[in-house]
With several copies, the nearest count.
Chain A
Amino acid sequence: MEGAHDLGGIGGFGSVRTDDGELAHHEPWELRAQSLASAVCRGARPWIEGLDPPTYLTTPYYGRWLLAAERASVANGIVSRATLEAWQRRIRVGESPPVVRDDRLRSRQAHAMTTPSPIASARQPFFAVGDSVRVKRIYEPNRHHRIPRYVRGVTGSIEAICGEDNIAGHDSNAVEPFYTVRFSSGDVWGERGDEAPFVIHVDLWQSYLESAVSA
Chain B
Amino acid sequence: MSGHDHPDDDHDQDHGHSHYELPKSRRARSEFELRTLALEAALTEKGIVSTDSIDAFIEIIEQRMGPHLGAKVVAKSWVDPEYKARLLADANAAMAELGIAGAEGDNMRVVENTPLVHNLVVCTLCSCYPWPLLGAPPIWYKSFAYRARAVAEPRAVLREWETELDPEVEVRVWDSSAEVRYLVLPERPSGSEEMSEDDLATLVSRDSMIGVAKAISPTSRN
Contacts and interface: CB of A to CB of B under 8 A. Distances in A.
B43 A36 contact: yes
Contacts of B147: 7-8
Contacts of A66: 32, 35-36, 39
B106 interface: yes
B13 A99 contact: yes
B171 to A, nearest CB: 4
A171 to B, nearest CB: 17
Interface in B48-69: 48-58, 60-62, 64
Interface stretch (B77-85, B154-162, B194-202): B154-162
B4 A32 contact: no
B107 A148 contact: no
Given A9-B151, A11-B148, A115 B107 contact: no
A90 B78 CA distance: 55
A22 B134 CA distance: 12
B173 A199 contact: yes
A85 to B, nearest CB: 8
Top 10 closest pairs, chain A to chain B, by CB: A102-B50, A203-B178, A97-B41, A13-B145, A8-B124, A24-B136, A35-B57, A198-B171, A87-B38, A96-B18
Interface of B: 3-4, 7-15, 17-20, 22, 29-30, 32-58, 60-62, 64, 92, 96, 101-103, 105-107, 109, 124-127, 135-140, 142-157, 160-161, 167, 170-180, 206
B21 to A, nearest CB: 8
B32 A63 contact: yes
A39 B125 contact: no
Contacts of B146: 16
A139 B153 contact: yes
Contacts of A102: 8, 10-12, 47, 50, 52-53
Interface in A55-107: 57, 60-63, 66, 69-70, 73, 78-79, 83-84, 87-88, 90-92, 95-106
A17 B29 CA distance: 27
B35 A200 contact: no
A207 interface: no
Contacts of A87: 38-39, 41-42
Contacts of B53: 35, 39, 102, 105-106, 108-109
Interface in A181-209: 188-189, 194-196, 198-205
24 contacts: A5-B126, A8-B151, A16-B150, A18-B140, A22-B206, A24-B62, A31-B61, A36-B54, A79-B46, A87-B42, A97-B20, A101-B12, A104-B10, A113-B56, A113-B57, A113-B103, A139-B153, A146-B177, A188-B151, A198-B173, A199-B171, A201-B174, A204-B177, A204-B178
Given A15-B145, A17-B161, A203-B179, 9 more contacts: A24-B138, A45-B125, A66-B39, A83-B42, A92-B34, A96-B37, A97-B38, A108-B53, A199-B172
A36 B10 contact: no
A5 B125 CA distance: 5
Interface string A1-33: 000011111110111111011111111110111
Contact of A69 (B18, B39, B124): B39
Contacts of B20: 28, 32, 96-97, 99
Given A87-B38, A119-B107, A106 B148 contact: no
Interface in A161-182: 162-163, 165, 168, 178, 180
B44 A18 contact: no
A211 interface: no
A133 interface: no
Nearest to A205: B178
Contacts of B140: 16-18, 21
Contact of B42 (A84, A116, A147): A84
A130 interface: no
